[in-house]
Amino acid sequence: MYQYSAKGAAASLRTLSVDGAAPTASLDEALGRLLDLACHLLDAPMALVWILDVAQTPRLHAAQGFTGEAPTCPSAFCEAVLKTGTVLVIDDVQARPALARDPVLVAAGARFGAGALIALEGRPAGVLALLDTRPRTLSPSQQQTLLRLARIAADEQSLSRQAAAEHESRYRAYFEQSAEGIWSYAFVPPVPTSLPINEQIQRAYESARLTECNDAMARMYGFESAADLAADDLARRVPPYAEGNFEAVKAFFEAGYRATEVETLEYDRYGNARCFSNNVVGIIEDGHMVCVWGSQTDITERWWAEDALRKSEQLLSSINQNISEAIYRSTPSGDLLYANDAMAWMFGYDTVDEMMDGHVIRFYRDPKRRDELTARTEKEHGFKHEEVEFVRKDGSTFWGLISCNVTLNDDGAIVTYDGAISDITQRKRYEQSLIKAKEQALELARLKSAFVADMSHEIRTPLTSIMGFAHILAEEAPKKHRELAQLIRQSGKSLVQTLKSVLDLTRLEGHTFEPNAERFDATELARQVLDLFRLQAQQRNLDLTLTAPDEPLTVWLDAGALSRILTNLVSNAMKFTSEGQVAVILEAVTSEEGGEMLEIRVEDTGAGISEDFMPSVFSEFRQETDSLAPDANGSGLGLAITKRLVALLGGTIAVESEKGRGSVFTVRLPRGEDFGF
């Protein structure tokens, strides 16, 4: 309700709401001027306007000259004017008992009343009336004036209705086409504003009913149209105790029933959480909130994104503060911008703030090291896993493993260095202890090799004498003692062979064996090796054969090493073969990479190797104890030495065997520099 005052008029005009709707300001102003004019022209202290509502019920719309409130109840005088259909003049109300009891006339203290019909398009639309506190009459000309004033009121009302229709049309277009959700909730019954805030909120949730909304709002909740969302329950869509909702609603009440861009967490028809930004205004009448109007925008995607970002930032902050690695950010010039708690602890500071002041160069034991890393960062935009010796607050040092990346601006210039540091002091100490242990092991290996070489020399000297004396005894001793002398000599040869194998293995383990490559015919060398075993083969009734190409198999290798390889393989085959044959096959082959290779195969029909023992066949001091061969004894070093010699010459060795059916050892060696190597 608001007040209008006409210039020069002592009386006041009060406009009254009709069906709770606020009057149109332009119509009220026009009627105010019209009533003021009527009072002036027709010398009446009071003037009134009734307007028919949609139910054709007259509602008092405006009153001029009343000192108190004009009654809004039905008026018999208004009804009489409507029935007359033109102008009605009552000279003295007291002469008409039915009108004398009219509440409006009684409230005005009226003795005189005159009214004219307001008609729109030939139909009654209202009544314009004059009242006076004394009996009187209107002349015919005055009645015509009153009638013309009623026509002016009709014109103003017609224009007002057109303006309202245009306004309604514009509003309806905005309402229906807006991408924002537009809505209105009515409170039945209205919520008294005199109650405490919390009780008002409770009452509002209990009595709120959705009275109007557009399709855009309905779609935000998963409905196809506003009709599907009609009469929805506010508490179901906007749970009062959902996160942040109660505080948002409370802020609306505390701010005088207005809220701008307040966020609420709501739920669509499928139970999915949605977040909205709302602008809301409450309509207050007679100390009660009768309804709220508002608009809302769906910000769910932004809300989820912000929530994800917030959680990500919380996670990153938690990681930065709880991991054992130091995390930092600095400027290229060396000012520390950020450090986590682990960095402060790592560098011996009580808090992060304590270590922030000053240039980062103070953390480097060697400032030049920082200059090197800075230059590399500027050039390569970062580095990984660089070892740096750092200085703590108390001056002690530690080793750190540092990695760094850069942040660039839009122009591609480096803005910050972002990096991480791990304390590797314990690892460095462990590495140093390993290096020391390795050096000690190498020294022990060297001493062992020297000791074995010395012992071999010391043992060989008396063995040579023993074997010489055994040879003499075998020739000069009586026949019955010659077998003992031969046994002594044979045992000496076996011991010398064992010493030689031990010495060879020691030299190979100590990396003191240096191959001496030379050009020779591998076939001829193989014949020489097999000649050493022919007598033994004849004595054991074994076939010892050599198969090789007719043309020379020229190689560029260490002849002594190749002789040793052949000797060990043939000796091993003879040892484990009691009948059948031992065959040596030599041929030139091409490797998968296209290189010329010498392939040596030593095949026997001996005891063979079990599947379980196969992984240990090239191990030192290992022999299969259940061999079927009668002479299967030895140190178990021959094949181990053979494999190491083959590897030293850049070749490979493989074995195929089946228990009781013999074995095949295959060696492949590069033929040397004359053949593409």
CATH number at residue 135: 3.30.450.40
| Contacts (Cβ under 8 Å, ≥6 apart) of 411 | none
* The predicted structure's pLDDT at residue 11: 28
Contact 347, 365 (CB under 8 A): no
Same domain flag for 7 and 154: yes
Same-domain pairing of 373 and 434: no
Instruction: Please list the helix, strand and coil fractions of the chain in percent, rounded to the nearest 5, in that order.
Output: 45, 30, 30
Q: What is the mean pLDDT of residues 249-258?
A: 91
Percent of the chain residues topping a pLDDT of 90: 27
The strand ranges marked E within 392-493 are 397-408, 414-423
In a domain, 633, yes or no: yes
Q: Which phi and psi (to 5°) does residue 491 adopt?
A: -65, -35
Mean of pLDDT values over 243-248: 81
* Residue range 424-439: mean pLDDT, rounded: 86
Confidence (pLDDT) at 400: 92
Q: Which domain holds residue 647?
A: 517-675
Instruction: Report strand pairing: 663-670 vs 652-657.
Output: antiparallel
* 47 band by pLDDT with thresholds 50, 70 and 90: very high
Q: What is the pLDDT of residues 440-492, one digit of tens each?
A: 877 776 666 666 566 665 665 676 667 666 667 666 767 666 667 666 765 66
Q: Which of 144, 173, 202 is the last residue of a domain?
A: 173
Q: Strands, DSSP E only, in 355-432?
A: 382-391, 397-408, 414-423
Lowest mean pLDDT, pick from 38-42, 164-168, 212-216, 465-469: 164-168
Cis peptide before 189 (omega within 30 of 0): yes
Distance CA(49)–CA(36), nearest Å, equals 12
Predicted local distance difference test score (pLDDT) of residue 523? 92
- CA–CA separation, 181 and 190 (whole Å): 24
Residues 121-162 pLDDT 10s: 888 989 999 999 999 999 998 899 899 888 888 887 776 666
Residue 353 lies in a domain: yes
Task: Give the model confidence (pLDDT) of 415-425 as tens digits.
Answer: 999 999 999 88
User: Do residue 297 and residue 369 come from a single domain?
Assistant: no
Residue 231 has pLDDT above 60, yes or no: no
pTM value?
0.37
Q: Do 669 and 557 fall within a single domain?
A: yes
- CA distance linking residue 174 with residue 353, whole number of Å: 56
Do 166 and 58 share a structural domain? yes
Same domain, 280 and 417: no
Q: What is the percentage of the chain residues whose pLDDT exceeds 70? A: 78
**Mean pLDDT throughout 588-601?**
88
* 417 CB burial (10 A radius; 0-12, 13-18, 19+): buried
The CATH number linked to 345 is 3.30.450.20
Shared domain for 414 and 470, answered yes or no, is no
pLDDT digits (tens, 9 = 90+) for 303-348: 888 888 888 777 777 776 677 788 899 999 889 998 888 899 899 9
Query: Please, are residues 150 and 118 in contact by the beta-carbon 8 Å criterion?
Result: yes
pLDDT of residue 540: 87
Show the tokens assigned to 450: 């020297």
In a domain, 189, yes or no: yes
What distance in Å separates the CA atoms of residue 9 and residue 65, rounded to the nearest whole number?
9
Record the tokens describing residue 281, joined without a space.
């205004």
Backbone angles phi, psi at 524, to 5 degrees: -65, -40
Say if residue 578 is in the same domain as residue 670.
yes
Asked whether residue 317 is assigned to any structural domain, the reply reads no
Domain count, the chain: 5
Residue 675: what pLDDT?
Answer: 42
Averaged over 12-38, what is the pLDDT? Answer: 59
What's the CATH number where 591 sits? 3.30.565.10
CB 420 within 8 A of CB 386: no
Report if residue 281 sits inside a domain: yes
**Domain ends where: 487, 509, 531?**
509
Last residue of a domain, one of 389, 423, 457: 423
500 and 568, same domain (yes or no): no
Closest C-alpha among 44, 94, 42 to residue 66:
44
Same domain for 521 and 664: yes
Domain assignment present for residue 315? The answer is no
Give yes or no: residues 123 and 98 share one domain.
yes
Please tell me whether residues 21 and 149 are part of one structural domain. Answer: yes
Q: How far apart are CA 453 and CA 441, in angstroms?
A: 18
Tell me what pLDDT residue 197 has.
92
The 10s digit of each residue's pLDDT in 192-217 is 999 999 999 989 888 888 888 888 88
Q: Average the pLDDT over each of 80-89, 228-237, 304-313, 514-523 and give the range with the smallest value.
A: 228-237
- 167 versus 269: which is more confidently predicted? 269
Query: What is d(CA 509, CA 486) in angstroms, rounded to the nearest whole number?
Result: 35
The pairing of beta strand 13-15 with beta strand 58-64: antiparallel
Find the angle CA(349)-CA(351)-CA(356) to the nearest 5 degrees.
80
pLDDT tens string 615-673: 777 775 556 654 444 454 555 567 887 888 888 888 999 989 888 888 899 999 998 76
Position 10 in a domain? yes
Instruction: Tell me if 435 is assigned to some domain.
Output: yes
The whole-chain average pLDDT of the chain stands at: 81
